[in-house]
Amino acid sequence: MQKANAAQQPSSNRRPGARLAWIGQGFLLLLAIMVVIILGRNLIDNPELFIQIIISGLQLGFVYALIALGYTMVYGIVKLINFAHGDVFMVGAFVSYYAVARFQLHVWPSAFFPDLDPLVTVTLGSLSVILLSMITCAALAITIERVAYKPLRDAPRIAALITAIGVSFFLEFFGALSFVFSPRFIPYQRPFDVVTWYIKDGIYLVEPGKAPPAGSITFSNILLIIAVASILVQVFLQFLVRKTKIGKAMRAVAFDKPTARLMGINVDAIITTTFAIGAAFAGLGGVLYAIAYSSIWSQLGILPGLKAFVAAVLGGIGSIPGAFIGALIMGQAESLTAGYISTPMRDAIAFTILILVLLVRPTGIFGEPEKEKA
Amino acid sequence: MLLNVQDLNVYYGAIHALQGISFNVNQGEIVTLIGANGAGKSTILRTVSGLLRPRRGAVSFKDQDITTMPAENIVRLGISHVPEGRKIFAPLTVQENLEMGAYTRADKAEIAQNLQRVFQSFSRLKERVNQLGGTLSGGEQQMLAVGRALMAKPTLLLLDEPSMGLSPILVEEIFRIIQEINQQGTSILLVEQNAFMALQVAHRAYVLETGRIVLEGNAAELQKHPKVRAAYLGDTE
């Protein structure tokens, strides 16, 4: 009896809600065990289907990673959840749509250099489309930052957050005007053709117009491109932030703006650069997403944007590797839900994860508790 | 005259923090501003380095008006500010902190040379070059803050409470370093609560009370001034 009392003594000193977190953790553990059991059974029952679902989850996850980076970088430096980021992603998709379907930008190499190898032509053409989208998105983000966020730099954080939601709505509904983008789904013309392979005792090409044999695992060149792009971006950002002068300045600005100014760092320029880099990668993500899922509309950015935001929170907002890991987990969660539970549930799972993270570990996987300002 | 401050008036909201401050720093001097907590010493430094805007008054450096110049440009002219509380970039390594000090400079060879010189003066920093700034002790952080400011190759160094929170041995050490830096040709504007040490190393001094300069003069003479002795040097006579 006395022992029990002694054991309870420290727990009463803990902050309120500590018990709630404990219950949450127990619940989470139970949930994790259930998920593992269900997935394990499915894996044994039908390994091909399981792997197929994992592959489609990877494709989603790598796209989310491209968007999540922008959320996490901007949050890291100005403590703002830039809700317009998902719509910048949508603009990236539409810029590439216009470049390809209206202006045929993707075939320029064959017009100027007809003797080139077709593979080189397609690569060059697609790269220029992607580059155009990235530059446009970066320019858009710089404009948004200068017009909407910079005047609020010293205002309470909630003001900038509400402004971000406003900018997001503006892009969505301005984009819905028929002479801007499109309020309905429109088919997206890819700058290159999809090539699909199937795996069954080796890797074979799926002939156009023919279905792959039953029970085989298929994957496409789009998956490979998305994966390579996403990983390259991750490596590039790590290099930028760790090794370059501007990256170190970004970290200095994120930590302490007045002192960064005393070093001679132009804080506004660094913040603008951060927005631009994040937006360029969202633009890249937008193009790849449109290529992968081949239809677009003006509200294309909302759900991927929100899911990438959840991914950034899950990984620990402000952490670049966290955003990447979080995005991969989100991709899997969504794909597994769609595959084994039901397709509409996949959106619900994203926000369930958000609620669970906020309940159990609000700082996310790699996040550190926010320091109290004296 | 290297730095000339004329009739500086700074407000925090409705609070009139600096009420017409005028002083100057000549080439090669150590000038100290002493005074109690809240007298406005840090406010003066923050205004000189451009973090605060005065409502009235003027600051000129090397005969150039810098009153409304942004802080990041003032550094380029040759004023380095070691802020109160050291303000080390905690998530950056010691090396990266020092590199940030040299942010305005482009000549890599010269920066590397400068880095070696800082490591010579502060050997402890060299041992911890790859450690995160936030993991250093208070004394080491102060060394890093001074080293970081020196990386900008300043003509004028603004030091805000460099002895704060340090052990007596480290205080001696930091004041020795301040004199060394000055002997190598850098002018210093030193803000201190430790008036005793500050008056020993300084050439000239200004005494502040609630936003006004109440006394000024030769540091050695001020050391003997009865008012200074009573208020700041613990003389109870």
* Residue extents of the structural domains in chain A: 44-358
Domain count, chain B: 1
Question: A-B interface: how many C-beta pairs under 8 angstroms?
Answer: 63
- The confidence band for A230, taking pLDDT boundaries of 50, 70 and 90, is very high
Task: Using an 8 Å CB-CB cutoff, list chain A residues near B91.
Answer: 251, 255
What CATH number is given to the structural domain containing B74?
A: 3.40.50.300
pTM here?
0.89
* Burial label, A102 (beta-carbon count in 10 A; 0-12, 13-18, 19+): exposed
In angstroms, what separates the C-alpha of B105 from chain A's closest C-alpha? Answer: 9
> Within a domain: residue B124?
no
Place of tokens 């502040």: B208
B96: nearest CB among A248, A256, A265: A248
Say yes or no to pLDDT of B231 above 50.
yes
3-state DSSP assignment of residue B187: strand
- Please answer yes or no on whether A262 and B81 come within 8 Å at the CB atom: yes
Q: Which residue of B has its CA nearest to A259?
A: B87
> Within a domain: residue B137?
no
In angstroms, what separates the C-alpha of B124 from chain A's closest C-alpha? Answer: 22
**Mean pLDDT computed over every residue of chain B:** 92
For A289, other C-beta atoms within 10 Å of its C-beta total 28
Say yes or no to pLDDT of A3 above 50.
no
pLDDT tens-digit map of A260-301: 999 999 999 999 999 999 999 999 999 999 999 989 999 999
Is A263's Cβ below 8 Å from some Cβ in B?
Answer: yes
- Please answer yes or no on whether B91 and A266 come within 8 Å at the CB atom: no
Per the structure, the complete domain to which residue B78 belongs is given by 3-87+154-232
B71: nearest CB among A252, A255, A261: A261
- The confidence band for A42, taking pLDDT boundaries of 50, 70 and 90, is confident
pLDDT tens-digit map of A68-103: 999 999 999 999 999 999 999 999 999 999 999 989
> Within a domain: residue B146?
no
> Within a domain: residue B145?
no
For B132, other C-beta atoms within 10 Å of its C-beta total 16
pLDDT tens-digit map of B19-56: 999 999 999 999 999 988 888 999 999 999 999 999 99
> Within a domain: residue B7?
yes
- Pick the range with the lowest mean pLDDT from A28-32, A130-134, B129-133: A28-32
> Within a domain: residue B172?
yes
In angstroms, what separates the C-alpha of A254 from chain B's closest C-alpha? Answer: 10
Structure tokens at B1: 């005259």
A77, B30, B133 from A160: Cα distances, Å: 14, 45, 31
> Within a domain: residue B104?
no
pLDDT tens-digit map of A333-374: 999 999 998 888 999 999 999 998 888 888 888 877 655 443
Output the DSSP codes for A268-313: HHHHHHHHHHHHHHHHHHHHHHHHHH-EE-TTTTHHHHHHHHHHHH
- Please answer yes or no on whether A264 and B50 come within 8 Å at the CB atom: no
pLDDT tens-digit map of A44-74: 888 889 999 999 999 999 999 999 999 999 9
Pick the more confident residue, A64 or A182. A64
Is A320's Cβ below 8 Å from some Cβ in B?
Answer: no
Q: Which residue of A has its CA nearest to B75?
A: A264
Q: What percent of chain B has pLDDT over 90?
A: 81
- Please answer yes or no on whether A263 and B76 come within 8 Å at the CB atom: no
pLDDT given for residue A372 in this prediction: 43
Is A248's Cβ below 8 Å from some Cβ in B?
Answer: yes
- Please answer yes or no on whether B89 and A249 come within 8 Å at the CB atom: no
> Within a domain: residue B111?
no
- The confidence band for B199, taking pLDDT boundaries of 50, 70 and 90, is very high
